Amino acid sequence: MVRPMNVLFSLLFGFGIPALLTFAYHSTLNLAPLPVWALSINLMLLALMGKDKFAAKNKMSRTPELTLLLLTFAGGTPALFMGRWLFTHKKSKESFNHALYAVIGAQLFCIWYFWNNLWSLV
């Protein structure tokens, strides 16, 4: 059973740190926000995958799958696949795999939709 506070805390942690890093690096070093966001969200997701694998082995509080999937949708797809390979985690759970491929399909649809409509604005 997923506890709502666990989901809320992990989402705030998972999105909050990359958002703060993106803001800090953009405002102080004038770096482009998209690459900073992509790097920080991927590092955060990889860390959460490692924490979840450790928690699964030691019967501790786990990271909710919803958090992992939302971070994946927000740009962490490479980190999720790297975490699956590196930690051999979340590979055989069918429901997670189906949700993961739905997230990837939604990402591809968003990329296609915004790419096509971007040119109509120019």
- Asked whether the predicted pLDDT for residue 121 surpasses 70, the reply is no
62: left (phi over 0), alpha (psi -120 to 50) or beta: beta
List the domain boundaries for the chain: 4-121
Which DSSP string do the residues of 43-86 spell out, in sequence order? HHHHHHHHHHHHHHHTT-PPPPHHHHHHHIIIIIHHHHHHHHHH
pLDDT tens string 89-117: 888 889 999 999 999 999 999 989 988 88
The CA distance from 120 to 87, in Å, is 43
Average pLDDT of the residues in 8-21: 84
Residue percentage of the chain with pLDDT more than 70: 93
Task: Tell me the pTM.
Answer: 0.85
Which residue from 16, 59, 64 is spatially nearest to 40, judged by alpha carbons? Answer: 16
Which residue from 56, 86, 66, 62 is spatially nearest to 15, judged by alpha carbons? Answer: 66
Task: Find tokens 């958090």 and name the residue.
Answer: 67
